[in-house]
């Protein structure tokens, strides 16, 4: 997966974001980092002043949408970024990295190797196994919007019922997929955890689990404390404790607290192993 880049998505906590980029560059010195700002537009100048020296460039999603919409539709923001700026950048693979994701190793070690016809997504799962429990497909208004999206995909791409869904953290996407996705109509009905698997199926791309998340309703309580999509933030003691273990975890989410690079280096075991 040579010729890869990081698209770093953030919308607040600019000092935390700046330190997170510092950590990313320490473990991934070969990867250029580009910023995608999804906060209030009036805050963009402040964000750029703090972070512009840390990245190759920062792009602001300009449409008048609130931050909640932007968080929910990160796939549409990434599509807009590629149409306006990303298509000018030379890359073959893109690590989509939210600021509250914390990784303490090279992304090339953490992620699986993929080809340009594959997406590596978190917790890839059969829709049939989670539909009756998953928020996006079982609770209103998301359930009705998912039905509308499914009807759209059936009418336009012949995907009568998508086979897979996923969770959000850390998609690894090929440029080949992004180029096809950027040509599609913007449909703001569902989350990227639905759209990426759906469009991958429509385009004939393969899916692979990126290995970051324990999975839908899976994993021990200890695992879920360290990496989850439920807003349960691991403590600094829990993070540092894992780093001190040679076979401890190296990926954590959500981490909105400030975690200094110097502390990670201090606590990191001499020989590391990632899941």
Domain boundaries defined on the chain: 4-110+219-267
Alpha helices in the chain (DSSP H): 14-27, 44-51, 67-72, 74-84, 107-110, 127-130, 135-138, 142-157, 175-182, 192-203, 221-226, 236-243, 261-267
Question: What would the pLDDT profile of 97-143 be if each residue is shown by its tens digit?
Answer: 999 999 999 999 999 999 999 999 999 999 999 999 999 999 999 99
Residues in the chain: 275
DSSP strand pairing (33-37 vs 4-10): parallel
The pTM score is 0.95
Q: Which residues contact 141 (CB under 8 A, 6 or more apart)?
A: none
Q: Quick one: tokens of 227?
A: 């990496």
Q: Which residue has the tokens 């502390």?
A: 263
Going by pLDDT thresholds of 50, 70 and 90, the confidence category of residue 64 is confident
């Amino acid at each position: 997966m040579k010729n890869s880049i990081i698209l770093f998505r953030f919308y607040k906590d600019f000092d935390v974001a700046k330190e997170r980029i510092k950590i990313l560059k320490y473990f991934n010195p070969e990867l250029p980092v580009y910023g995608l700002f999804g906060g209030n537009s009036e805050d963009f100048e402040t964000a750029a002043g703090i972070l512009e020296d840390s990245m190759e460039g920062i792009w602001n999603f300009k449409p008048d949408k609130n931050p909640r919409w932007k968080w929910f539709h990160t796939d549409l923001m990434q599509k807009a970024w590629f149409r306006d700026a990303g298509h000018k950048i030379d890359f073959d693979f893109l690590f989509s990295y939210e600021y509250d994701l914390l990784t303490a190793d090279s992304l090339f070690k953490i992620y699986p190797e993929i080809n340009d016809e594959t997406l590596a997504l978190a917790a890839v799962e059969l829709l049939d196994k989670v539909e009756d429990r998953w928020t996006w497909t079982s609770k209103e208004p998301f359930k009705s919007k998912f039905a509308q999206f499914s009807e759209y995909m059936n009418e336009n791409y012949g995907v009568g019922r998508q086979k897979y869904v996923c969770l959000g953290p850390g998609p690894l996407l090929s440029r080949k997929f992004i180029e096809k996705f950027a040509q599609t109509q913007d449909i703001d009905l569902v989350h990227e955890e639905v759209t990426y698997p759906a469009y991958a199926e429509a385009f004939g791309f393969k899916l692979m689990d990126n290995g970051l998340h324990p999975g839908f309703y899976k994993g021990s309580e200890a695992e879920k404390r360290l990496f989850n999509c439920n807003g349960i933030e691991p403590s600094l003691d829990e993070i540092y404790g894992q780093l001190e273990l040679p076979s401890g975890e190296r990926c954590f989410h959500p981490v909105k607290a400030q975690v200094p690079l110097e502390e990670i280096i201090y606590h990191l075991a001499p020989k590391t192993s990632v899941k």
